[in-house]
C-alpha cells in the first residue's frame, strides 16, 4: 500500500484518497518572470514522478499545477523591459514548457493561470470579510486578519508569536498586525494598466496567496487529496492558503501536504534572490542552440536525461547538493544503465511484478515515492543483464525505468550525443570528442573494418586508439557489427 509523508502530520501515512481510485493533486507552479533554475527543475521532476507513479498504481489522477502570471516581480520585469505584462508572461511560460519537454516532465492535466480566476478570488475575499477574517486597511489593501484564524501555524509548526511575515508580505503601518497578509492590493498610479482589475474594494490586483486558494478549489474541490510544492512554500504561502480556504469554507484544504527538499549550493538554497542559481537551459541545451532571446531551445537529450536522473536518484524530500562533480557522477551512472541496454537488446514484454527487482522497485516507490530505492533496483537489473546477457532482465530494466521517465532513448542514439558531463579525463563537448561528427566517425569505423579485412591489425588498432583519444569508444559485436559511443 502506498504511504506518503504528510508535512501536516509530520509522519508517513497510508494514502487514502477521498474518492476511491481517484486523486486530485494540486502543486504550486512557477511565477513566470524569468527562466527556471535547477531548484525549479527539482520540483518539476519530483512531482512528475509522483503523478507518474500514482497513474502506474492504477489511480485516475487530476494533476493541477498553476502558473502565477501576475506578481510584483512580473510587473518589475515588464517595466524594466518596456513590455506588456502578457508579453513577459507568455515568453517565460513558453520557456518553462521548453524546459519541461527537455526534462521529460509530462504536461499537467490542468495548468490554470492566476489571471483567469480573479472572480473566484474576489468571492473568497468576500466570504472572509463576512466572517471577520479580512479587512480593508487605510491604504486600500484588503488584508487577512491572521489572529482571527485559530489554526494558523499548524503546517509550519510555529506559534503566532514565533512567526514573522514572509518574504512576499510587505509589512506596513496600515496593517492591524505585522503578520496579516494581503489578499487584494490597491492599484498604484504608476503601475501598468494591464495589472489592474475592478473590485468592490476599488481598482487593484490579487495578492499572491489567494490565487492558489481559488484555483485549487475551483478545479479540484475540497479537500484536495494532495497539495504539493517546493520547500520554501511551507511558510508563508501554504500556511496562508490554509487560513484563506479553511477560513472561508471550513473543513480541510488538503488531506496530504507534500514538500520536496531544497537544492543546495555550498549549504545555501539555490534561488534567484541569492544569485547562486543555474538555469535548466544553461545545463542541458546544446551550446549552439542556446539563446536568451528565444523561449524554446534544442536540448542535448543525453544531458537532459542526466539532469532528470540527477534529481530522481535522490529521495524527493532530502536536501540535494549541486556541484559539477555531482552532475558528472550522475552522467556516468546513467551511462552505465544505458550501456546495459546497448549490450543486451531488451525483451519488449511487460513488467513481471513477481520478479525480485520489480518488487523492490514497487516497494520503494510505495514507501513515500522513494525513487532512490527504485533506482537501486534498476542498477541491480543492469548488473544482472550484463552478467547473464538476459534480454528479459534488460526488458525489465527499460520498462521499470520508464515508469519514472528514464531510459526511453535508443542506446545507440543516446551514446552518439556528446556531453559536457562525461567521465573524468574525457574530452568535453566542443573539444576532440564533440568535434568529430557522425559521418567522420562512421568513416573511421569503415576504414578500421577494411584494415581488419586486409589483416592490417596494426592500422585497425591505431584507428581505434585515435577514436578513443577523441572520446569515441567502440564495441565490436558478433557478425562484424561495430557500435560506437561518445565517452
How would residue 256 be classed by pLDDT, with cut points 50, 70 and 90?
very high
Q: In sequence order, which residues have a C-beta less than 8 Å from that of residue 254 and are 6 or more positions away?
A: 8, 26, 223, 224, 225, 226, 227
State the residue for C-alpha cell 573494418: 449
The CATH number corresponding to 3-264 among 3.40.50.620, 3.30.70.20, 3.10.20.30, 3.40.50.2300 equals 3.40.50.620
Cα(427)–Cα(412) distance, integer angstroms: 19
User: How much of the chain, in percent, has pLDDT values that exceed 90?
Assistant: 74
pLDDT of residue 129: 98
Per-residue pLDDT at 288: 65
pLDDT band at 476 (very low <50, low <70, confident <90, very high): confident
Check residue 448 and give its pLDDT.
87
Q: Is the pLDDT of residue 144 over 70?
A: yes
Distance of CA 206 to the CA centre of its chain: 26
Average pLDDT over the chain reads 90
Same-fold call for 3-264 versus 300-416: no
Domain boundaries, the chain: 3-264, 300-416, 438-486
Q: Quote the pLDDT of residue 429.
A: 40
Q: Is the pLDDT of residue 392 over 50?
A: yes
Distance CA 362, CA 352 (A): 11
Q: Provide mean pLDDT across the span 254-273.
A: 83
Lowest mean pLDDT among 26-40, 116-130, 324-338, 455-469: 455-469
Has residue 222 got a pLDDT over 50? yes
Beta strands in 282-392 (DSSP E): 320-321
Q: Is 241 annotated as a binding residue?
A: yes
In terms of Cα–Cα distance, which of 468, 350, 337, 469 is closest to 414?
337
Q: At what angle do helices 391-402 and 356-366 cross, to 10 degrees?
A: 10
Q: Apex CA 107: angle with CA 104 and CA 113, to 5°? A: 135
pLDDT in the model for residue 396: 98
259 assigned to a ligand binding site: no
Q: If you average pLDDT over each of 274-278, 408-412, 445-449, which comes out highest?
A: 408-412
Residue 466 is predicted with a pLDDT of 79
pLDDT digits (tens, 9 = 90+) for 54-84: 999 999 999 999 999 999 999 999 999 999 9
| Average pLDDT score over residue span 196-200 | 97
Find the mean pLDDT for residues 128-141: 97
Residue pair 98/61 in contact (Cβ under 8 Å)? The answer is: no
Q: Each residue of 436-451: pLDDT tens digit?
A: 788 888 888 877 877 7
pLDDT, residue 186, reads 96
> Mean pLDDT lowest for which of 23-27, 388-392, 444-448?
444-448
pLDDT recorded at residue 451: 72
pLDDT band (50, 70, 90) for residue 286? confident
CATH code linked to domain 300-416: 1.20.120.640
Q: Which of 299, 330, 264, 286 has its CA nearest to residue 42?
A: 264
Is the confidence at residue 9, as pLDDT, over 60?
Answer: yes
Least-confidence region, from 164-168, 192-196, 470-474: 164-168
Instruction: Name the least confident of 29-33, 236-240, 306-310, 461-465.
Output: 461-465
> Order of strands across the sheet with 224-229?
60-65, 22-27, 224-229, 254-259
Q: Which of 174-178, 332-336, 369-373 has the lowest mean pLDDT?
A: 174-178
28 annotated to bind ligand: yes
Using CA atoms, how far apart are residues 464 and 443, in angstroms rounded to an integer? 12
Q: Which helix (H) or strand (E) holds 55?
A: helix 38-56
pLDDT category of residue 270 using cuts at 50, 70 and 90: low
pTM: 0.89
Amino acid at each position: 500500500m502506498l504511504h506518503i509523508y504528510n508535512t501536516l502530520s509530520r509522519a508517513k501515512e497510508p494514502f487514502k484518497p477521498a474518492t476511491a481510485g481517484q486523486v486530485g493533486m494540486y502543486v504550486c507552479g512557477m511565477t513566470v518572470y524569468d527562466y527556471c533554475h535547477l531548484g525549479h527543475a527539482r520540483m518539476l521532476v519530483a512531482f512528475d514522478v509522483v503523478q507518474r507513479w500514482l497513474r502506474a498504481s492504477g489511480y485516475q489522477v487530476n494533476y493541477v499545477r498553476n502558473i502565477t502570471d501576475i506578481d510584483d516581480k512580473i510587473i518589475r520585469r515588464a517595466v524594466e523591459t518596456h513590455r506588456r505584462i502578457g508579453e513577459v508572461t507568455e515568453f517565460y511560460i513558453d520557456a518553462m514548457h521548453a524546459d519541461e519537454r527537455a526534462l521529460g516532465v509530462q504536461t499537467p492535466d490542468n495548468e490554470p493561470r492566476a489571471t483567469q480566476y480573479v472572480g473566484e478570488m474576489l468571492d473568497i475575499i468576500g466570504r472572509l470579510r463576512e466572517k471577520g477574517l479580512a479587512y480593508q486597511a487605510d491604504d486600500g489593501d484588503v488584508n487577512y486578519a491572521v489572529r482571527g484564524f485559530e489554526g494558523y501555524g499548524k503546517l509550519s509548526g510555529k506559534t503566532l508569536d514565533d512567526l514573522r511575515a514572509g518574504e512576499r508580505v510587505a509589512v506596513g503601518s496600515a496593517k492591524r498586525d505585522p503578520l496579516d497578509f494581503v489578499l487584494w492590493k490597491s492599484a498604484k498610479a504608476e503601475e501598468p494598466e494591464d495589472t489592474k482589475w475592478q473590485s468592490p474594494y476599488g481598482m487593484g490586483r490579487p495578492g499572491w496567496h489567494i490565487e492558489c486558494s481559488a484555483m485549487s478549489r475551483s478545479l479540484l474541490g475540497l479537500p484536495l487529496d494532495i497539495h504539493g510544492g517546493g520547500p520554501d512554500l511551507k511558510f508563508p504561502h501554504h500556511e496562508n492558503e490554509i487560513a484563506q480556504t479553511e477560513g472561508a469554507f471550513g473543513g480541510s484544504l488538503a488531506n496530504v501536504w507534500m514538500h520536496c527538499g531544497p537544492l543546495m549550493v555550498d549549504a545555501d538554497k539555490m534561488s534567484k534572490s541569492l544569485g547562486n542559481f543555474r538555469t535548466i537551459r544553461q545545463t542541458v541545451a546544446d551550446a549552439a542552440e542556446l539563446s536568451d532571446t528565444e523561449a524554446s531551445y534544442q536540448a542535448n537529450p543525453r544531458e537532459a536525461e542526466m539532469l532528470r536522473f540527477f534529481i530522481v536518484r535522490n529521495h524527493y524530500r532530502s536536501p540535494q547538493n549541486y556541484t559539477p562533480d555531482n552532475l558528472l557522477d550522475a552522467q556516468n551512472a546513467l551511462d552505465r544503465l544505458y550501456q546495459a541496454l546497448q549490450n543486451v537488446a531488451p525483451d519488449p514484454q511487460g513488467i513481471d511484478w513477481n520478479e525480485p527487482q520489480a518488487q523492490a522497485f514497487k516497494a520503494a516507490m510505495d514507501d513515500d515515492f522513494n525513487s532512490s530505492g527504485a533506482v537501486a533496483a534498476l542498477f541491480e537489473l543492469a548488473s544482472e543483464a550484463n552478467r547473464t546477457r538476459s534480454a528479459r532482465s534488460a526488458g525489465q530494466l527499460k520498462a521499470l525505468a520508464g515508469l519514472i521517465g528514464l531510459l526511453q532513448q535508443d542506446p545507440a542514439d543516446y551514446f552518439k550525443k556528446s556531453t559536457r558531463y562525461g567521465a573524468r579525463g574525457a574530452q568535453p563537448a566542443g573539444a576532440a570528442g564533440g568535434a568529430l561528427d557522425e559521418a567522420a566517425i562512421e568513416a573511421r569505423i569503415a576504414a578500421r573494418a577494411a584494415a581488419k579485412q586486409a589483416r592490417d591489425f596494426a592500422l585497425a588498432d591505431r584507428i581505434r586508439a585515435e577514436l578513443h583519444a577523441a572520446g569515441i569508444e567502440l564495441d565490436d559485436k558478433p557478425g562484424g557489427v561495430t557500435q560506437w559511443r561518445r565517452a
